Amino acid sequence: MTKTIPLCAQCASHELSEWVNEKSPLIKPEVSKEIREEMRDMEIKEGKCIVCNQDRASAGWFERICKVINKYKLGDSFKKEFHQMFGFEL
């Protein structure tokens, strides 16, 4: 089972934007756009963000981005890197 690294919406968006920009030569513009759209609509849950230490971690962002990656069939190496950077196995 993969558990999300606790990030608030702002920090998750920032970190994901940097990662998507780094990967932009490898992915289509519509994929980048959909990832950014998913990040705009995040829920808040209890828990502290590990980056800014605010008590406003976001719920569901990891799973939402995984769905986009699967939808566009971006490949195992892309998926593996996303999991290594933003999740951890239990």
- The structural domains of the chain, with segments of one domain joined by +, span 2-89
d(CA 39, CA 36): 5
Of 12, 34, 24, 39, nearest in space to 78 by CA: 24
pLDDT(4) > 50: yes
User: Do the beta carbons of residue 45 and residue 26 sit within 8 Å?
Assistant: no
pLDDT(83) > 70: yes
In tens, the pLDDT along 35-80 reads: 888 887 777 677 888 889 988 888 778 888 889 999 999 889 888 8
At residue 90 the predicted structure's pLDDT band, cuts being 50, 70 and 90, is: very low
User: Do the beta carbons of residue 23 and residue 78 sit within 8 Å?
Assistant: yes
pTM: 0.77
* Rg of the chain in Å (alpha carbons): 13
